[in-house]
Chains A and B, each alone.
Chain A
Amino acid sequence: MNTMDTVKLLIGIDVGSTTVKAVVVDHLSGEIIWQDYQRHETKQPEMVLSFLQRIESDHSHITRDEMRLYLTGSGAMNISALIGAKFVQEVTAVCLAAEKLYPDVGSIIDLGGQDSKIIIFKEIPGTGRKKKIPSMNDKCAGGTGAVLDKINAKLAIPSDELAKQQYDGVKLHSVAGKCGVFAETDINSLQKQGVQTKELMASLFEAIVLQNLTVLTRGHTLRPQVLLIGGPNNHIEGIQQAWKHHISLLWKERDYPLPEGCNPKDLIITPDNALYFAAIGAIEYGLDEEEDHGEYMGWDALNYYIKEGRLKAKAGADKGLVTSEDEMHAFYEKYAPENFESASFYPGQKVEAFIGLDAGSTSTKAVLISPEKEVLSKAYQLSRGNPIEDTKSVLNKLHEQVLSAGATLRVLGLVTTGYAKDVLKEVLCADAAVVETVAHTQSALHYYNKVDVICDIGGQDIKIMMLKDGQVKDFELNTQCSAGNGYFLQSTAESFGIPVEKYAENAFKARLSPTFAYGCAVFLQSDIVNFQRMGWQREEILSGLANVLPKNVWLYVAQIPNFAKLGTHFVLQGGTQNNMAAVKAQVDFIESRFEGKPEKPTIIVHKHCGESGAIGAGLEAIRLWEHGRKTTGFIGMDATANIKYNTTCDESTRCSFCKNKCLRTFIDLELGENGHQHGMTMNQHEGMAKTPVVSATNGHTAHNGNGKSVKTRRVIVGNFCEKGSVEDVAAMRGIKKGLDDVIKTTPNLLNVANKELFRSYSPVRVSPPKQKGLFKKQKKEVTDRSDLRIGIPRVLLMYSLAPLFTSYFESLGVLKRNIIFSDFTSEQLYKEGGKRGAIDPCFPSKVTLSHVHNLLFSKQEKKPLNLIFFPMVGDMCSGLVNTVGAWVCPSTVPAAETVKAAFTKEKDIFKSMNIQYVNPFLNLVEKRLFEKQMFDTFQPVLGITRKENMQAVDQAYECLEQYRSNMRAVARETLTTIEQENKIGVVLLGRPYHKDPGINHEIFEGFQKLGYPILTQDVLPQDDYTMEQLFGAEVREGIISHPLDISDVWKRTLNTNVNIKLWAAKFVARHPNLVAVELSNFKCGHDAPTYTVIEEIIERSGTPFFSLKDLDENKPKGSMKLRIETIDYFLKQYRERIFDLVLEDEVY
């Protein structure tokens, strides 16, 4: 081994995801004597080899023994071992370089290809050192350069133009930064609306910067100087401007001390040599290392790896989709959908048929179905970005098939489905718009007797519908992540120059395939690149990619690893199932999940897999016909072909009728001379159906292409709620009145509770202590209570305990008007306070920070608060019997401490605002202990006596009980009405905070508008009659000891809210008029263990059960709407079924 004394060259190489950068430093002088960077075009080892050879040849007078080699970067770890280099972690290297070259560095923002990193430096007093607080993205590509690359590839901006893209002064639109694929969806949609490229890019910069600032700073404030490094930060002006804008804003918001007279933006810099930071830092690291590191062994082993080694690694890889041609043929024999042949029409034939139209996100499909439910013909159109144009095209194709045979077509009915179903229903005056999940289910059930699971994989969407007794009991959609959809297979094949139709043919050629790690589609893209680099052929990659698809569908998106619970009959449908490679992978995967189990799966590929949705819609049209609707509103084929329209989507179309401020699109359909849509009859025009969400109004005028003024009918789309479906206030009021009428007659106990919880219960004012001369000080304190203003975050258990605390304070003399709750959760409230968060727990815990922020920066401004009270309730009674514990969730209890940490860590904000933060730990089960805890907490604050405190606690418990009694009475009344009117009531199975509209995302309002009364689990009636009706028999049989006993369904009755939920589930399971919708948040560790039990309790009794799990801060509007519509459809069926049974009972 040579010692460092003999070393002449220090070589640092940074092997990044897109480029390789190298610097060579003279050991003696410390000068950089050689540097270069090259794009490696996915060939990292080759590029490193080339660098080494060049360095050796450029320094031929120096032997390998006299060189030391340090590698860093995402691709360095494996290569290091082959050449004897020391691997240096990238962040460490970057920090070392930054500290050396920029001693004043305070933060680094390194935006890499697949990694985003933020490093904050904090001085350690007295040591001269700086501590680094690093943070980087996890398994998701959100906020990385990969997102930028993906969008840039789509928009095809040349690299020199990309570098010049601006942020400052450019109009911004809403783009998701969380996921590259969703960003692409948003960009697609904006592009279709005609938004310019420069605005798209600026919006993307905004999204990426905000994503990183929210997620990666972990609540710390970036410190100046901020160095922007990494590819995008280096090269793109716009992203630099976005960082400067937002960081400056943050400093201002947080009152961060900056050098006087300095422009904050000047403290955010992009170093000239940032490209080589990691390579320089790696050498710095090496200089500080022990003697025996980084001894360069030459490039022979690397060369061997490139030529042979990595190919050998392939030998241990996965097998291909098939092992032989025979196996492939056998598979095709069994699973390939039979060829469809259109019906043959003859001249003069008068064809009478129904049309099902499925306007999906990537394609539009239409089918012509005979009244006998036979598919006569199909048509398909790949999306060209405009559903109306696509529809015109597919309907024209259908029509042509009839006309070309000399026949004529009479359309008996048309029903739409798919994401554009409502628009098309309006434009075409269709008979109905049926929700996608229902259309797919009906289609599958039409062809196959027994269906447990429908797996529908379309271009963008994945839907997995789980059925029980012919009704959808649950479904999973890819609302949060798009990994696993068909578009990805298609785009990959096309990037290899293979049309998607030839995908399977190519993939089946592979006998080996690389193993992709399932997960984020953006990273799969990178894996493809890596596998190509390792020598895998395109057929093998296609095979591997098909293989990973089911894993992404079932394990990553739907997260259903346990197939035993699903059933055994699977129907695969959706356009992607036309790709037999994808089908083979699905079949293999599903079969593998049943290995070792007695039951075996039956897997069927839908015979019209691509058109299953359209067929479902067509079947619905037939059903309507059969149920007496003997006319259709459909404008007809000719009118459809002649549809002329104009779309507008800009600030002028934005809705202002509610806080959502939806950006709507106005579609103005040109009307003919007679004031009707081209080709429409008077009847059709007048009979146009109106839906609450999408509406059309006549009488607008617009200018057509010739500059002539024409009459139009306006269809409004893009609005989330009903109010946005019209333009003028009077019409909106009309709609609102209609809604109000429904709401008035349909009780929603969530809203009632939200009023009851936060009102005053006028507790008895407890007797003040006797005033004697010596206690003047005390007297003053007592008097002062009426001026005391207490802020309480409206979070967590406040949704079941607020009356306890408000009554306590009121009984001590605090005025009700001086007890200030933070606002209900909203997107704005969350965003304003959320950036201080250091951790990522469940949303209800996370949002507490924003509520305290709301009290501090919104409520406080109006009138100063004296204290903020955020209790940590450790246990509370459930009212149930025979339980072993009364714990409260361990994530919500310490939330008050986390909030305290967030507002005091850099600067004590409470102190600076002269507010006392009071967050006692409280036990509610033992009243006397609670009394002590409250006394210990408030004696020093309010100057109370023990007696006062005791009386106030008594009052508090009484008022809490009064709230519960009131709510139970309302619930009983509601239930009686439901029973009387044979209605179906929806019970929210959730946690107290699910009453917060910002946390339940107003899902239950959706049900209420559809006429379903809403009840909540915590105040279900417990009167003797109800208890006897529902539980009496079981008590007598000895199954349970008491109606409030849950030991028959759950042994570990440790947690109050879990226990209440289980009891409520039992209640619903036993009540004929009730169904349950369970809400649960992402990362809810308390709900998770009960998912199966809750489901079993309810479904075992034949009661419909629906659940919305993994709720978080994102409000998935589309998915929620889809769910509500689906649930509504099946609840209607259930209601018919269940009350028919009751009637039959009565008859006999």
Chain B
Amino acid sequence: MKNELIELVEKKTRGKKIPANNKSTARHFRIHKERPFLYEERETTTVLVGGLSPAHDYLFEATMKGLGVKTVALPNTNLDAFHLGREYGNNGYCNPAYFTVGNLIRYLRNLEKSGIPKEEIIENYVFFTIGCNAPCRFGMLETEYRMAMKDCGYEGFRILVFENEGGLNQKIQGKGVQVNPEFFLATVNALNMADVVSELGYAIRPFEVEEGKTNEVMEKALKYLYDKLQNKRRVVFKGWKDIFFKKLHLTNTALFLVRFIEQLKSNYYTDALKEVRKMFEAVEVDRFKSKTTVKITGEFWAITTVGEGNFNMFRFLEKEGAVLLVEPVASLIQLLFSKGLLRHENRREMLLKDRIKGWWQVRKRYKNYLKFQKKRQTLLLGNFLFRREYSRLLKALGGNNHMLIKQSILQEVANPFYNINIEGAEGYMEIAKNIYYHEHKLCHMVLSLKPFGCMPSTQSDGVQAAVIEKYKDIIFLPLETSGDGETNAQSRVLMSLGDARVKAKTEMATAKETVQSTMEEMRDYVNRNPILKSPFYIVPKHNGTVSQAANFIYHVDALIKQETAA
């Protein structure tokens, strides 16, 4: 049949040729073959990183340096970068891509202006960025980044993409950046430390007595952590150990084990954070300040970036009297674990029955079971250890920050509204967090930030309409960020913030009415007990009250009563 068809077609098209000058293979479009970043080039090549918050980028730079890679974190992105990104990017990029590509172009142009020739820049710099194997367009932008580089005159500039779900099976060209267990552990530690320290800053800043003190200490703390990360001793085998493991071809395995055990047992990072804690002790806080607690959720980039990338939203909210509960990068890492586990669990039946033809294949069944459990348990253990490490850091810093919410809880909360199997961006997390933070009385309002046209996040907002209908008291505001329209966006936030403020004020008024002590008495008590001015003092929650000031009033009143009783 096939031959007949071919014959027929050949007959019909006989004598016709594809015009040679029109459609020859030589002229067809091909993607650019990326030049690898080789291990030998490490000495001369600078790896540029960026795309998270300045604190995260800064500590990641230190970590990379600690691993022996010459690294520079790009300066924080801004509107100029966005416009450059728009100029050289395609129509229809998402915002994060415009800001990121533009920031890179801006940096390279500045290098050029400083006197480094273009050829040298192309030769001696690479950009290391995160990509994703997910349905979102962000995963596909690598080719576009290269085209943008070409269009702005840096053809051949290397872009290395690190897959966020790729694990150790990364296809990064060359070995300039070695994606191995050491790299993973170091990166996770750096990002976790940036998470916990940043979160602490957001928790303290609104209550600081001396304006600007938190930022001042934050700068010192980050510098301190930078040095610690950069100068961390790397585990290497020397002498007989080196020879021994090499002989057995076990160097990598042994190194992994030693590093892993070190990670679990060493206090290197926790000690560093204890030092940081001491630094922050210098910030005096006044917890009587009535603040509105705002939980930030949304798309990963929009909520981790700080500055013009998200309309300077964090600074604006703090200025408007809000305390922010920001989303840690660790939350996304946890999501990756849970998505992996979910996908694996979904295939349970398939995997267990894989190539089973009858009941008699007991051995095969057992093997399938073991194989299934091996991956499952690995993921569970990985998740457990990740949470353990994060928790250790939190405790070292004072335990005043929020622990990561278990993904299983979030999945349970979200599933009635949004199928948890849906992939793309933060998936079910936006829905789940909205409900969770409301149900657990953790915030007055949820602000969901997302780049304009973010596909999964927009659909998730469609479902939020049903969520806020069910949970009547939720104040939820989805906000699309784009390069322009900061004032308009901030105005929208003010609309909802006004409503949230009423909630906070009502709590405050109720607290003042309920307690027996006067404000003067309570202030006096706090002055007599300076520990209550410490940023690390943990105020117990009172009967579902969100407002920290209200909780503090209940607490101080209780302390006064205790004192009086004593």
Residues of A within 8 A of B (CB): 77, 89-92, 95, 122-125, 127, 129, 131-134, 136, 138-139, 218-220, 285, 288, 290, 517, 555, 559-562, 564-565, 593, 596-598, 837-842, 845, 872, 874, 884-885, 887-891, 893-895, 897-898, 900-902, 904-906, 919, 921, 926, 928-929, 932, 972, 976, 979-980, 1023-1026, 1029, 1033-1034, 1037, 1039, 1048-1052, 1054-1055, 1058, 1066, 1069-1072, 1083-1093, 1096-1097, 1100-1103, 1109, 1138, 1141-1142, 1145-1146
Contacts and interface: CB of A to CB of B under 8 A. Distances in A.
B210 interface: no
B91 A1048 contact: no
B465 A218 contact: yes
Nearest to B15: A1146
Contacts, number: 314
Given A91-B495, A841-B455, A1141 B347 contact: no
Given A897-B417, A898-B462, 7 more contacts: A89-B498, A838-B464, A890-B423, A1033-B25, A1070-B28, A1088-B93, A1089-B90
Nearest to B289: A290
A137 to B, nearest CB: 9
B462 A972 contact: no
A501 to B, nearest CB: 34
A517 B472 CA distance: 39
B419 A980 contact: no
A838 to B, nearest CB: 4
B120 interface: no
B459 A1093 contact: no
A894 B460 contact: yes
B9 A1025 contact: yes
Given A564-B151, A906-B469, A1052-B140, A1091 B463 contact: no
B543 interface: no
A1100 B137 contact: no
B496 interface: yes
Given A1052-B140, A1086-B137, A288 B505 contact: yes
A287 to B, nearest CB: 11
Contact of A132 (B17, B462, B495, B506): B495
B201 interface: no
B136 interface: yes
A895 B456 CA distance: 9
Contact of A1058 (B10, B140, B423, B424): B140
Contacts of B135: 874, 885, 887-890, 893, 1054-1055
Nearest to B494: A89
Given A91-B498, A1084-B92, A890 B31 contact: no
B502 interface: yes
Given A131-B473, A893-B423, A1025 B143 contact: no
A323 to B, nearest CB: 24
B87 to A, nearest CB: 4
Interface in B473-494: 473-475, 484-485, 487-488, 491-492, 494
Interface of B: 2, 5-6, 8-10, 12-13, 15-19, 21-23, 25, 27-31, 83, 86-94, 109, 131, 133-137, 139-144, 147, 151-153, 290, 346-347, 349-350, 417-419, 421-425, 453-456, 458-470, 472-475, 484-485, 487-488, 491-492, 494-499, 502-503, 505-506
Contacts of B496: 132, 134
Contacts of A1102: 21-23, 27
B350 A932 contact: yes
Given A129-B502, A839-B458, A976-B13, A593 B87 contact: yes
B425 A972 contact: no
B466 A596 contact: no
A1058 B144 CA distance: 14
Nearest to A1109: B91
A596 B350 contact: no
Contacts of A1091: 90-92
B513 to A, nearest CB: 15
B87 A561 contact: yes
A979 B461 contact: no
A103 B6 CA distance: 79
14 contacts: A91-B498, A138-B485, A565-B151, A838-B462, A891-B459, A894-B422, A905-B466, A979-B16, A1025-B6, A1029-B18, A1052-B142, A1072-B22, A1089-B144, A1092-B90
B508 to A, nearest CB: 10
Given A897-B459, A928-B350, A132 B27 contact: no
B504 to A, nearest CB: 11
B543 to A, nearest CB: 15
A1048 B28 CA distance: 10
Contacts of B497: 89
Given A894-B418, A1085-B92, A1092-B144, A972 B463 contact: no
Contacts of B12: 976, 979-980
Given A872-B419, A890-B136, A1102-B27, A929 B473 contact: no
Contacts of B474: 131
A894 B153 contact: no
B90 A1088 contact: yes
Contacts of A1093: 29, 31, 143, 147
B498 A561 contact: no
Contact of A980 (B13, B473, B487, B502): B13
Given A976-B13, A1048-B30, A1054-B135, A839 B459 contact: yes
CB-based closest 8 A-B pairs: A1088-B92, A890-B424, A898-B462, A92-B498, A901-B466, A887-B135, A89-B494, A891-B455
A1085 B459 CA distance: 13
Nearest to A1091: B90
Contacts of A123: 472
Contact of A889 (B91, B151, B417, B455): B455
Contacts of B492: 134, 136
A139 B93 CA distance: 20
B284 to A, nearest CB: 20
B139 A1052 contact: yes
A904 B416 CA distance: 12
A139 B13 contact: no
Nearest to A92: B498
Given A562-B87, A891-B455, A901 B463 contact: yes
B88 A562 contact: yes
B453 A1085 contact: yes
A560 B137 CA distance: 20
A921 B422 contact: yes
B424 A122 contact: no
Given A893-B423, A905-B466, A597 B16 contact: no
A374 to B, nearest CB: 36
B29 A1096 contact: yes
Contacts of B462: 837-839, 841, 894, 897-898, 901-902
Nearest to B9: A1025
A559 B87 CA distance: 10
A124 B350 contact: no
B145 to A, nearest CB: 10
A1023 B5 contact: yes
Contacts of A887: 134-135, 423
Contacts of A219: 465
Contacts of A1089: 90, 92-93, 137, 140-141, 143-144
